[in-house]
Amino acid sequence: MIQRSARLIHRQSQFEGALKRINGISRGGAAKADGKATTAASVFNLVNNVAGAGILTLSAAMASGTGLFPALAICAFLGSISAHCFSLIGTACELTGEGDFKGLWGRTIGENSTILVDATIALMCLSACVIYSGILGDVFTPLLAQAGLPEQFNGRTTNIVAITSMILLPLGLIKDLSALAFTSVLGFSAIIYTVLFVVIRAVDGSYKLGSGKFATDGLLLAQPSFGKSSLWNMDFNSLVLASNLGLAYIAHYNGPNFYRSLENADSKRFQKMVNISFTILVCLYATTMVAGYSTFGDACQGNLLLNYHPNDVLSTLGRLATGFSILFGFPLVTYGARKAVAGVADSLGFEGLGSEKNHFILVFGILSLVTLISCTVTDVSLVVGLTGALLGSFIVYVCPPIIYTNAVALANGEESREHRASKINLVLVPFGLLVAAMGCFMTLKEASGK
């Protein structure tokens, strides 16, 4: 269960940020001048949109063999590339007047292929639902055991079915997501709390070998070890960290929504907002990664929370915060899956699947499929990992430069100086393919080592 939970947390990092606040992604149409969000509010929303439980995987990725300074450099480099691609989406919105990713795709690449947008989102959302469902079972089962629930009533499958039927289904049927606005604050608070407690434990000596109050009773999953610790080491194992971070900044098909909601939006204001947001994200990721590694070193688990002592109150609160953040974030993912599945059905000629009369049937069907998979398949990390690597890289690194370059051509002409200058961004396409290949390689390597 521990290893499965760690792998699922790792896979969640590939999906989570892009799936929060997913409403409006799959609708086509022109952008509306209805932006009311200040730069500060947009920064908060974007950081919350991207950051997630995947932050807990970074210390283990660093422990695979990457030194301090190369790890920080990889974190900053991939953050800056992701920020640039996000900014390209906003500029494309300004050039075309489109207000969502599907409309942007149709305008710059072709209306006949917009089904790919819905299909991509549907696959990612359904995969994320399976991940979320599995994590909920793995997180709450030991917590309920710790609370004294008898073992015969506290199985992983039983808990997943109970949580789905009593909590997730009613939440998934909510049509107005503004009723769940508090979940954004909850999710962001959980992330900030996690970063703070990881830093506190890194500096207070609680886990120091030989003298730390949590390091002497033999109850830790693994004792801290620093045999591979270095400042400059960078080798083939650094691909693990690059793979984790390569998709940790994903939120790009929500880019048009952020552009549309920004007050007095233009490409310069949008780029400023994006740069501030991704700078904060780089700092959050780097701080947690280094603090976690400085506490446990080479013993860091794929889910950093597993390293902490079972009687450490701060880490128990961290597990609870993570669990409830996922629990209340689930309806947003379900919403995205429902919209995307309905969009694919419309494109295939099955119009009306997303209608009012089919609302319950569609939500119930999605949750039934997700629950069946998460209960019967003990490890979906291979399929989900490959899906995340391929589709995530496609959305983050491949689509934005192509959409931007085509948008510039539409606005200024294919022979214009602006269009010729914009083509430099196409070098990101092979970079995205490389990230996809690395993600697939690390997924297959992980699967072969089970």
Dihedral-angle region of residue 28 (phi above 0 means left; psi in -120 to 50 means alpha; beta otherwise):
beta
Residue 138 has pLDDT above 80, yes or no: no
Cα dist from 34 to 178, 260, 263, 265, whole Å: 17, 7, 8, 10
pLDDT at res. 235: 83
Distance CA 292, CA 314 (A): 14
The DSSP output letter for 167 is I
pLDDT at res. 92: 94
Distance CA 168, CA 367 (A): 8
Distance CA 152, CA 288 (A): 37
pLDDT at res. 28: 41
pLDDT top residue among 376 and 202: 202
Distance CA 65, CA 240 (A): 9
Task: Give per-residue pLDDT as tens, 338-359.
Answer: 888 888 888 888 878 878 888 8
Distance CA 137, CA 353 (A): 30
Task: Identify the weakest region by mean pLDDT among 13-17, 40-44, 389-393, 396-400.
Answer: 13-17
Task: Give per-residue pLDDT as tens, 70-104.
Answer: 999 999 999 999 999 999 999 999 999 888 888 88
CB 292 within 8 A of CB 108: no
Q: Which residues of 373-400 are buried (b: 16+ CB within 10 A; e: fewer)?
A: bbbeeeebbbbbbbbbbbbbbbbbbbbb
Name the residue among 393, 391, 438 with its Cα closest to residue 125.
Answer: 391
Question: Region 31-50: what's the mean pLDDT?
Answer: 75
